[in-house]
Amino acid sequence: MKTQILFIFTLFFLTTTFSQKKEIAFKSGESLRYKMSYSGFLRAGTAVLEIKEEDFNGKKVFHTKGSGWTSGMIKWFFAVDDVYESYFDKDSVKPYLFKRKINEGGYKKHRITSFNHTAKIAYVQDFIHQKDTTISILDIQDMMSSFYYLRNQNVKNLEKGDEIAIDIFMDSQVYPFKLRFLGREVLRTKFGKVNSLIFRPLVQSGRVFKAEESVTIWITDDANKIPIKMMASLSVGSLRAELESYEGLANPFKKI
């Protein structure tokens, strides 16, 4: 259980997707709050995603912050208090700075990564181990910028079985990330019936998940393209994430 909840938070931040080209999927002031439940009934924690426009090194950028923490009985066994931040270009969504500060029951990481896309390098400062590293990069996203980068992609012609892949930079490494499109579904939610797109991230089986394809994510099939539900089968039990509240959306939240 020690790493499972954090991994789900991380995966959940990563796995939103795709709006129609030329539509604005998000804007400054957007806030999304999710309820995490273990085995369908036990409150496991909360995840919050926020974005706002700021000045960074003399230019206007988007600053996004993702926070995740455990609560209730789960917190007794495994306390999580994690914060992820990204500063990225408003037009290209290329990341300039990524911050990761986590605390998982005493296991801590505190890293800041600066991206130089012209020189094609990432400079990683590890404040726990007092170590700095420079890594060569090509076309990458950080964990948080990928959330918004993918929402700006075109899925109009996406067919069942199609896969979308990007490279994510985290922990001084580049990780290939892939989503498989499963189709569309009318989903019952606390907000009413919502048209949704269904995706399945391909994840590594073993320590956390029962199989490679143990996670399913539902995305609103509207101009916002926000994740509204996630189901994950774990080695022990299951985890569910559901949109609990939202504000500041760029477009109307369409319901049936």
DSSP string, 77-117: H--EEEEEEEEEETTT--EEEEEEEEEETTEEEEEEEEEET
The pLDDT value recorded for residue 208 is 42
* Sequence-distant (≥ 6) Cβ neighbours of residue 189 within 8 angstroms: 228, 229, 242, 243
Summarised one tens digit per residue, pLDDT across range 128-164 is 999 999 999 999 999 999 989 888 877 778 899 998 8
Give the domain ranges of the chain. Answer: 4-245
d(CA 59, CA 204): 39
Is the pLDDT score of 213 beyond 70?
A: no
The pLDDT value recorded for residue 1 is 52
Is the pLDDT score of 209 beyond 90?
A: no
Is the pLDDT score of 76 beyond 70?
A: yes
Is the pLDDT score of 203 beyond 70?
A: no
The pLDDT value recorded for residue 42 is 81
Of 240 and 206, the structure prediction assigns the larger pLDDT to 240
141 and 153 Cβ atoms separated by less than 8 Å: no
Take residue 99 and report the two structure tokens written for it: 């911050």
The pLDDT value recorded for residue 39 is 75
The pLDDT value recorded for residue 95 is 97
Of 71 and 218, the structure prediction assigns the larger pLDDT to 218
Is the pLDDT score of 207 beyond 80?
A: no
What CATH number was assigned to the domain covering residues 4-245?
Answer: 2.40.360
Helix, strand, or coil (residue 59): strand
- Name the E strands within 105-172: 107-116, 121-126, 131-136, 141-142, 163-170
What confidence tier does 22 reach under pLDDT thresholds 50, 70, 90?
low
Q: What are phi and psi of 74, to 5 degrees?
A: -60, -35
Q: Whole-prediction pTM value?
A: 0.85
The pLDDT value recorded for residue 9 is 55
The pLDDT value recorded for residue 176 is 84
Of 97 and 3, the structure prediction assigns the larger pLDDT to 97
The mean pLDDT of 56-82, rounded to a whole number, is 89
Q: What is the DSSP letter of 50?
A: E
What residue type is 89 in one-letter code? D
d(CA 200, CA 217): 6
Q: Per mean pLDDT, which range of 25-29, 221-225, 232-236 is the poorest?
A: 232-236
